[in-house]
Structure 1
Amino acid sequence: MGFAKELKTGNFSLYGQLVGLLAGVLMIVLGGVTIVSHVVYSILAIVFGVLCLLIELPFFLRLCPTGPSFDKAVRALRNHWLRTLVYVIFAVVMWASLASGLTLLVIAAVAITLAAACYLVAAIRNQAQVTTSLLGGTGAAGHTVYDTRTVQTV
Structure 2
Amino acid sequence: MTLREEFATRNFSIYGQWLGILSMILCFALGIANLFTISVTIIVISAICLISSFIILFIEVPLLLRICPTSSSFDAAIRRISTNYMRAAAYGVMALIQWLSLVSRASSLIAAAVFLTATGVCYLLAAARGQAFVGSKTLGGAGVAQMIV
Give, in whole Å, the separation in 1 of the partners of 2:34 and 2:145. 42
Give, in whole Å, the separation in 1 of the partners of 2:145 and 2:50. 32
Matched, 1:57 2:61: yes
Shift of 1:68: 1.0
Give, in whole Å, the separation in 2 of the partners of 1:67 and 1:9. 35
Q: Counterparts in 2 of 1:74-93, with a 5 A limit? A: 74-93=78-97
Give, in whole Å, the separation in 2 of the partners of 1:116 and 1:34. 23
Shift of 1:119: 0.4
Q: Counterparts in 2 of 1:107-122, with a 5 A limit? A: 107-122=111-126
Q: Counterparts in 2 of 1:1-154, with a 5 A limit? A: 1-37=1-37, 38-138=42-142, 146=146
Q: Provide structure 1 residue ranges, at least 5 long, that are not aligned to the other structure.
A: 148-154
Shift of 1:66: 2.1
Find the residue that maps to 1:126 and give its secondary structure. Answer: coil
* Corresponding residue pairs, total: 143
Which residue number in structure 2 is paired with residue 151 of structure 1?
none
Could you tell me the TM-score, scaled by structure 2's length? 0.88
CA RMSD, Structure 1 to Structure 2 (Å):
2.0
Give, in whole Å, the separation in 1 of the partners of 2:71 and 2:30. 28
Shift of 1:146: 4.6
- With over 3 angstroms needed to count, the CA separation of the structure-2 counterparts of 1:120 and 1:22, relative to structure 1, is same
Find the residue that maps to 1:66 and give its secondary structure. Answer: coil
Letter in 2 for 1:20: G
Could you tell me the TM-score, scaled by structure 1's length? 0.85
Q: Provide structure 2 residue ranges, at least 5 long, that are not aligned to the other structure.
A: none
Identity rate, percent: 38
- With over 3 angstroms needed to count, the CA separation of the structure-2 counterparts of 1:45 and 1:145, relative to structure 1, is closer
- With over 3 angstroms needed to count, the CA separation of the structure-2 counterparts of 1:64 and 1:56, relative to structure 1, is same
Contact 2:16 2:119 in 1 (8 A): yes
Structure with the bigger percentage of helix: 2
